[in-house]
Structure 1
């Protein structure tokens, strides 16, 4: 293949790759349309009538990554909350959170009742993003604020401030990306609680605690920090509940304790593992006792199951709060009113609430299935329908006919028909919420395939002349690319590299053995200790999904033998100092090079020890001699500055010959000019 043709093919491939990515992304990450405006009671056929609300204030307490077993199991720090569940003053649920289990899309689902898309995963990490704002969408926050004397306050994760700009009268946001902070990020929320419980000028308070999520990310759900943090959160629940009992202006206040998502056995979230999609949801108030008989708590759930009590969709929170606080259901809601709370009202009011909820969902269904009639003749068996649209049309006709014929029919049957339509519509609309553009997805894949073919055609000649090393590298690259088409392989990507490395070392062993004719200990046998080291690496830190949380060296052996841990740390730092002293400042004397390298090593080690003392003090038990002298009193910031200052000094010393050479060259050039 000529050089000119190779350059042309490479140019085509480099142009096609970004075009393919953009085309595929526009089909996979579309902005979903939404119904504009704000719902009102006058929009429904009930003539503006609505049920009297049992509550007039809500305290919405989100504990980030609050998995269901953190509240309901025997191994839980929420002892006070569990006592309220047993007494009937708290009603527990498991709220199913659909993937992606990331904070921003979960908050969107909770507040709008809609189904977020995977685009929200990207927006979740865009600190300055404003395109994901819910300022122009109908949410239960906007409905609550529109009530007479409505005022909202918020403390905690600043995701709420990005989603709801200019919504809160008082707010204090905290960043969620410094995961080593277990305490200050929550103390910044808690310090506002006593004062706000004394205030009567608000009807909605949002609190979003992050510490429990940070503990999960750092050391997993079985961390020794987990139970104390749960106990701390339970103490906040107790403080708020006792204030509701005592303060007159809080007598009709509903406290909602929930997680935005859960976490897996590794302490992470974002996917669809059962632990990630099963956060706790608890409604608490003394006014719940007349309608709740109480539930057994704690519970022993089946192994690997997080479905405690009744499971509801996370989107069901929005219409439930609408009914309990007396405002219209948000326009884009796909949630269904939780039936456990219907006992607050008489039978006719229950029908009216569910009918309003069903009609609101019907508006979204009509937007997806334009041919759906407003009414019709109910079929005797809606399972005979050919399509999702026909099924929903049949179920709505059945429910609407039941409501209109209440004088001759049974109100219980009408309530069941309305609930069945709403639940079925929720399932169907949730499955079609992504609205992927299949045509663009196919075009993007086709363009990527063409770019791949063009690249391979260019490399074909090189691959033909490649030796075993090149062929092995090419095979590994191709197999690694194939892995990207299966999410399960992506989650266990490290295992691919373990097996590829083992195969490569084995190949080198046999290749070297065949090439050597000498007797005695062959160089090929050096692959054996390398294979042993690779086996140790495999059990050093169990990650991914399949083996997450299983015993390993990093989480099981080293914390229990911290002397071994710090011996390895010291050996690593000493090796780095030795290497730097030999290579970092080759022009300087041995003493200067060693002094600069030692200063960097000792300041870096001091910062690591001090940070460990704050982050995981149990790793320093019995090793107090590590924190002596100036290091013992210096703050983390001061020690970090010392480490960075040492790095700067070493960089300057390393760069001096180059700077001097360029300055000298410049001077000579200037003289000649």
Structure 2
């Protein structure tokens, strides 16, 4: 193996190792205190008139004995409280005073698993749960050994739990439930059965008397959001369905004696953004509803706002009072009578204190909450003194130098007011306790993760070492070319911008402007030597015009995510949806025509006409080719129409009602499998024909089969794309055509591949936020959850654009290599050999020149891989360095952590899968 090839191989091997090492240091599990909390003596009993000891006789009496905890996945606050809500019954309970409403602040990442952890433990989960959330069989994230309100209820005498719905609960709490029926949260194509499977158990369980807590987790509303967004016509009917479930449960609580002391909690684990997704920190994603319901609540809601529906207050989705999602755990502890979970960072919800008339009971509840949180603070700051001795606050707390010292001072203030005589008004003690609790919650919730800094440095160093090794495999730098300078400038600017949170959020703008500048350079560099010197006809100008349309297709990022764009304009909606489907149909037709030409050539090959070209095809073969491929193209189009009619019917209103009714009755799984099977069959048929034409001899291919695979892959990619984005692939095809007219050198082709891959990613509506991940096409052709199949389809759906251009770049490189081949062969034909030796020497010359051209072609491919490896290594290294340096930054979890996950996907899945794997296959097929 040549030294350069060895270095390049080593550089590639270092990339996944660097990502893994860095991830284990950046996303470690946060430490937790094991075991279950128990009641203990509080101190100051003599001052407060409490009985000595920790027995039940000294505890405030719990107003509730049983709990129904109903989670509606992605239940954004306005879905319950807003004027357009379908939850009329819940709003009537708010007006009656039997429901206490809040907006629960869900911290990033707004994904189901970490949010369930927050609600049950009261703690702040690790960002690593974003990854574990997608692992159906994962057991490493279990809460079986942690203190939660479920564990506390289960530990009570005769405590029994039941659960129906999202099987995330079964993974987090194995062997906790005496009865359970789980459903996969990732089968997002299902809006109805996934909820009916929960609801069918409700009537029977409401009649049972053996359980202490029943957990219900409904997924349909979240699935509708992922498929069609919060404004989907399916959204309000789903809200009404959930409202009817609430009515059924609440009516049972009112009417059945054994449910009289039951607390009913309705909440969302997270919200959703305007795209229907979640995972980030946008207001819609972090603002789920939280409603406590019971006839007993009239006692505590008499002084609260009972207006419903209502307009939001402080923020777009902030209805009523905002509480932290972690506040659920200590509040349930007080209301149901068990100790606050050990790792809780939540604060008892103040309105609930109204259940206890005695001020000493209220103080005791808050003091137990404060002591529990103080132990966490003490463990976090072991060098500070958090004892209960009275100190001189004015001397020691005049100017605290750190967050820990500030909390020591606030605790000392609690100690002083609790140590005073019992006649002090309870309200003062309560205010001081809340002062400490909320400060401790804010400080501990924002405390940086326990990063493994040596691993962070090692991972970053490995990525940069990969870049250095790749750098030494680059060809000679002389002469310095403009395209090389452009590549280096893009790489340097990108690396610098990764250290700015605002640029990471709006990264698409960098690629849009860089691509525009690159097209302008192509215009300047090639305008003098081409026949299309007229300004408007120049391919680079046409590329710029197409690029302008493409960048306006979807608004993305954070700042202008809701701004006007082509997809959300009236151009594609309502009666104008015929425009969208005309463009979609044109995209499918273009691919069908191109595939029919490949099939026609394969038919000619089987007939013995292996040398036939596209222009020499017989009319009969063309007709047969179209007849063979048309069913595949038509089936793919019908699948997308049926898919959209079910998930986003507002995009099909301009289509014939009869046609829509017909496609809605089709099986989406079956049609998708027909499309995928047709693609595989077509590839096999044309591949056999290519083998027959070349007789398996290396060097006989003209690259047609590579183009065939590219077109088949394109059809697959648009099948994995939302209908409103499919016309983009028609624009991508036009860009590919105009690029082929420019006859770019290899370095320019690689730079163009890089730019258009990144541009296409953002143009399809993606961003660096977890919430932009599109799950709508993750179950095409799949009838049940499979982590590998779903994960692969999720990647292919979201990286469809980059994969398209990574393969298109290979074809452009192949065209460059083919032109070099033709030059060599032309030179052979023009040599003036002696007649009697011409044939023999011509064969020798052709072999020598063919070998030279093949070596050049090999160098072209290697240089392409080298430049993209360098880009991947430097890009990863810069992102890792930014995460390491800015690990204490305010936006580390909402901006930089998601960016690292996306950089990992680009570095492993796109680079190794799309560039090295798919591109290498296409290059090899084209050179056979």
Cα distance in 2 for partners of 1:280, 1:629 equals: 36
* Mapping 1:368-383, distance limit 5 Å: 368-371=380-383, 372-381=385-394, 382=397
Residue of structure 2 in register with 1:47 after alignment: 54
Q: How far 1:388 sits from its partner (Å)?
A: 2.6
> Matched residue of 1:583: which SS?
helix
- 2:629 is aligned with 1:597: yes
Q: Is contact 1:66-1:258 (8 Å) kept?
A: yes
- 2:555 is aligned with 1:542: yes
Q: Is contact 1:156-1:173 (8 Å) kept?
A: yes
Decide which of 362, 366, 384 is 2:374's aligned counterpart: 362
Residue of structure 2 in register with 1:671 after alignment: none
Cα distance in 1 for partners of 2:23, 2:301 equals: 48
Decide which of 436, 439, 449 is 1:421's aligned counterpart: 436
Cα distance in 1 for partners of 2:532, 2:272 equals: 57
Cα distance in 1 for partners of 2:96, 2:662 equals: 55
Decide which of 521, 524, 530 is 2:543's aligned counterpart: 530
Decide which of 242, 245, 257 is 2:266's aligned counterpart: 257
- 2:556 is aligned with 1:553: no
> Matched residue of 1:176: which SS?
coil
Query: Is the deviation greater in 620-629 or in 498-507?
Result: 620-629
Residue of structure 1 in register with 2:591 after alignment: 576
* Mapping 1:96-107, distance limit 5 Å: 96-107=105-116
Q: How far 1:435 sits from its partner (Å)?
A: 2.0
Q: How far 1:194 sits from its partner (Å)?
A: 2.2
| Counterparts in 2 of 1:462 and 1:225: CA distance versus 1, 3 Å | farther
Query: Is the deviation greater in 469-478 or in 142-151?
Result: 469-478
Q: How many residues align?
A: 660
| Counterparts in 2 of 1:408 and 1:614: CA distance versus 1, 3 Å | closer
Cα distance in 2 for partners of 1:72, 1:297 equals: 7
Task: Give me the TM-score of the superposition, normalised by structure 1.
Answer: 0.90
Q: How far 1:348 sits from its partner (Å)?
A: 0.9
Q: How far 1:13 sits from its partner (Å)?
A: 4.6
Deviations 1:192-219 (A, max 9, x none): 2222222222111111122222222233
Residue of structure 2 in register with 1:670 after alignment: none
Query: Is the deviation greater in 551-560 or in 356-365?
Result: 551-560
Q: How far 1:599 sits from its partner (Å)?
A: 1.9
Residue of structure 1 in register with 2:519 after alignment: 505
Query: Is the deviation greater in 386-395 or in 561-570?
Result: 386-395
Decide which of 558, 561, 566 is 2:581's aligned counterpart: 566
Deviations 1:132-186 (A, max 9, x none): 0001111001111122322111111111111111111221212122323322222
Q: Is contact 2:347-2:437 (8 Å) kept?
A: yes
Cα distance in 1 for partners of 2:471, 2:339 equals: 59
- 2:353 is aligned with 1:339: no
- 2:678 is aligned with 1:609: no
Q: Is contact 1:509-1:524 (8 Å) kept?
A: no
Deviations 1:246-282 (A, max 9, x none): 1111111111111111222332222222222222111
Q: Is contact 1:186-1:210 (8 Å) kept?
A: yes
Cα distance in 1 for partners of 2:88, 2:664 equals: 37
Residue of structure 2 in register with 1:650 after alignment: 682
- 2:213 is aligned with 1:185: no
Decide which of 17, 27, 30 is 1:29's aligned counterpart: 27
Decide which of 158, 165, 186 is 2:174's aligned counterpart: 165
Residue of structure 2 in register with 1:669 after alignment: none
* Mapping 1:412-491, distance limit 5 Å: 412-432=427-447, 434-459=449-474, 462-491=476-505
Deviations 1:588-642 (A, max 9, x none): 1524432221121122222222223322334333533773998675433433343
> Matched residue of 2:674: which SS?
helix
Q: Is contact 1:596-1:649 (8 Å) kept?
A: no
| Counterparts in 2 of 1:257 and 1:630: CA distance versus 1, 3 Å | closer
Cα distance in 2 for partners of 1:18, 1:628 equals: 46
Q: How far 1:581 sits from its partner (Å)?
A: 0.7
Cα distance in 2 for partners of 1:108, 1:489 equals: 31
- 2:318 is aligned with 1:307: yes
| Counterparts in 2 of 1:502 and 1:626: CA distance versus 1, 3 Å | farther
Q: How far 1:308 sits from its partner (Å)?
A: 2.0
Residue of structure 2 in register with 1:388 after alignment: 403
| Counterparts in 2 of 1:386 and 1:211: CA distance versus 1, 3 Å | same
Deviations 1:519-566 (A, max 9, x none): 973576343343332222222222232222333222232122121122
Q: How far 1:452 sits from its partner (Å)?
A: 3.2
Cα distance in 1 for partners of 2:182, 2:600 equals: 46
Residue of structure 1 in register with 2:139 after alignment: 130
> Matched residue of 1:312: which SS?
strand
Deviations 1:26-67 (A, max 9, x none): 331122211111112247665233221111111111122222
Deviations 1:444-468 (A, max 9, x none): 4344444434433543x54443532
Residue of structure 2 in register with 1:94 after alignment: 103
| Counterparts in 2 of 1:633 and 1:436: CA distance versus 1, 3 Å | closer
Query: Is the deviation greater in 308-317 or in 182-191?
Result: 182-191
> Matched residue of 1:555: which SS?
coil
> Matched residue of 2:418: which SS?
helix
Query: Is the deviation greater in 300-309 or in 251-260?
Result: 300-309
Cα distance in 2 for partners of 1:141, 1:563 equals: 53
Structure number with greater CO (CA < 8 Å, separation at least 6) is: 1
Query: Is the deviation greater in 393-402 or in 345-354?
Result: 393-402
| Counterparts in 2 of 1:520 and 1:151: CA distance versus 1, 3 Å | closer
Cα distance in 2 for partners of 1:418, 1:629 equals: 62
| Counterparts in 2 of 1:83 and 1:625: CA distance versus 1, 3 Å | closer
Cα distance in 1 for partners of 2:352, 2:665 equals: 56
Cα distance in 2 for partners of 1:132, 1:426 equals: 23
Cα distance in 2 for partners of 1:655, 1:558 equals: 39
| Counterparts in 2 of 1:149 and 1:377: CA distance versus 1, 3 Å | same
Q: Is contact 2:645-2:664 (8 Å) kept?
A: no
Query: Is the deviation greater in 404-413 or in 158-167?
Result: 404-413
Cα distance in 1 for partners of 2:12, 2:596 equals: 43
Q: Is contact 2:83-2:310 (8 Å) kept?
A: yes
> Matched residue of 1:588: which SS?
helix
Q: Is contact 1:406-1:414 (8 Å) kept?
A: no
Q: How far 1:291 sits from its partner (Å)?
A: 1.7
Residue of structure 1 in register with 2:363 after alignment: 351
Q: How far 1:303 sits from its partner (Å)?
A: 8.0
| Counterparts in 2 of 1:102 and 1:635: CA distance versus 1, 3 Å | closer
Q: Is contact 1:266-1:548 (8 Å) kept?
A: no
Q: How far 1:349 sits from its partner (Å)?
A: 0.8
Cα distance in 2 for partners of 1:308, 1:523 equals: 54
Q: Is contact 1:316-1:336 (8 Å) kept?
A: yes
Query: Is the deviation greater in 242-251 or in 13-22?
Result: 13-22
| Counterparts in 2 of 1:404 and 1:234: CA distance versus 1, 3 Å | same
| Counterparts in 2 of 1:629 and 1:104: CA distance versus 1, 3 Å | closer
| Counterparts in 2 of 1:638 and 1:407: CA distance versus 1, 3 Å | closer
Decide which of 282, 302, 313 is 2:291's aligned counterpart: 282
Q: Is contact 2:645-2:660 (8 Å) kept?
A: no
CA RMSD of aligned residues (A): 2.8
Deviations 1:67-119 (A, max 9, x none): 22222222322222122112211111121111111111111111001111111
* Mapping 1:64-79, distance limit 5 Å: 64-79=73-88
